[in-house]
Amino acid sequence: MEKAMGENWEPKIIAFLCNWCSYAGADLAGVSRYQYPPSIRIVRVPCSGRVSPNLILDALRSGADGVLVSGCHPGDCHYISGNLYARRRFALLERFLEFIGIEPGRVNFSWVSASEGEQFAEVVQEVTERVRKLGPAKKLVKEITICPR
């Protein structure tokens, strides 16, 4: 399969970006022509508080090599406190996934505001590097094998 770690392997990273900050930040990065690796696939969510662990795990199950969840800086949430609830949730999830043996760096979290285009590009750069070092994800990926006839 294409998952084999070859010379040209590029990680696939699912990025859950909040509509009000990080998604706009990604937009600004593009408008400002900051270069960042083409490894991310963006899913726009209303708030980082919308991102349940189910979504993160589902991304990994479907074959994502890494996940990035990004929201507004604490205090800047469009919904006042969505990212603060999310922060608690992610803190527990991150530690728990590490506990059961998912490599640290597969699931990443960041705060990027709508004015931080450059920072967004840097975050994507960093996440891509982290995931590239880890190699293709295998642990929670559900491979669908077709039975030979």
Partner 1 sequence: MSTVNEKIAGQIQQIATQLLESKEVALFLGYTQGTVPGAMQPFVARDVEDAKRLSWSSFCVVNLANYLPGLLRSLEPPRRPNEPPPEGPLPKVGVVATGCWSRNMVVQIQENQIDRERVVIVGVPSRGMVDRRKLQESVGQREITSIQEDDNSLLIRGNGFEKVINRWDVIRDNCQTCVHPDPVIYDRLVGSLSGDRNIPDRFRQVEEIEALSVEERWNWFQEEISSCIRCYACRNVCPLCYCPTCFVDDSRPQWVGKSKEQVDTALFHIVRAYHCAGRCTDCGSCESVCPMGIKMRLFTRKLQKDCLELFDFEPGLDPDIPLPLTTYSTSDPEDFILTQIRKGDEK
**Residues contributing to the site for partner 1 (CB under 8 A):** 53-54, 57-58, 61, 74-75, 81, 84-85, 87-104, 108-112, 119, 122-123, 126-127, 139-142
Distance, in Å, from the CA atom of 44 to the CA atom of 117, rounded to the nearest integer, reads 16
- Nearer to partner 1 (CB atom), residue 30 or residue 104: 104
Residue 39 or 110: the one with the smaller Cβ distance to partner 1 is 110
The residue among 12 and 93 lying less far from partner 1, judged by its C-beta, is: 93
DSSP labels, 75-142: T--TTSSHHHHHHHHHHHHHHHHHHTTPPTTSEEEEE--TT-HHHHHHHHHHHHHHHHHH-S--TT--
CB of 142 to partner 1, least distance (A): 5
Question: Would you say 30 or 75 has its CB closer to partner 1?
Answer: 75
The Cα 80–Cα 6 span in angstroms is 45
- Minimum Å gap between C-beta 60 and partner 1 is 9
